[in-house]
Amino acid sequence: MAIRLNADDFWEFSLALYCREAVAQACLALQDRRGADVNLVLAICWLARSGYAVNAAALESGLAATARWSDAILRPLRAVRRQLTNFADVAANDRQSIKHGLLSVELEAERVSQQKIVAALAAHMNGLSTEPPRGLAAVGLDLYAAKLGAMEPQDRADFDTILSAL
């Protein structure tokens, strides 16, 4: 039987965890270097904090649920926002204003992505675990890391940074 997960709780958890500078840096580094889906990383941590483990089937479901949205919406928004620095001929205050507008839209798109992840993962969460959250998260993050390909030392360091914040 699938459990009922609350996407708003996930969003609040994500904001609280991501506001830690070291976590944000680690997440962005994994995103930029490995193409990691930060929302999926955060979901693994949120579920672990709630006593649930993400298995391979759940991971695949979460990735599938957001693939099209990420490709069509999130990545292009991020790319446009990042390109603004390449336009020195546009006034700095105009670039900044556009960047803030894009960031607002990007955050809303991230929230939608999280809703998709929650809906996909709910069917895969079975019983609560008594294992500590860091251990549960480490298992899920290791599964995800394997999906991303061969781990580099910096990848492990970034995942460890995120785990240490739980």
DSSP assignment letter at 73: I
pLDDT at 74 over 70: yes
pLDDT of residue 1: 45
- Nearest-angstrom CA–CA distance, 153 and 46: 24
pTM: 0.92
Residue with token string 């939608």: 112
Mean pLDDT of 18-43: 96
- Nearest-angstrom CA–CA distance, 108 and 19: 16
pLDDT of residue 3: 61
The predicted-structure confidence for 113-152, as pLDDT tens digits, reads as follows 999 999 999 889 887 888 999 999 999 999 999 999 888 8
- Nearest-angstrom CA–CA distance, 163 and 159: 6
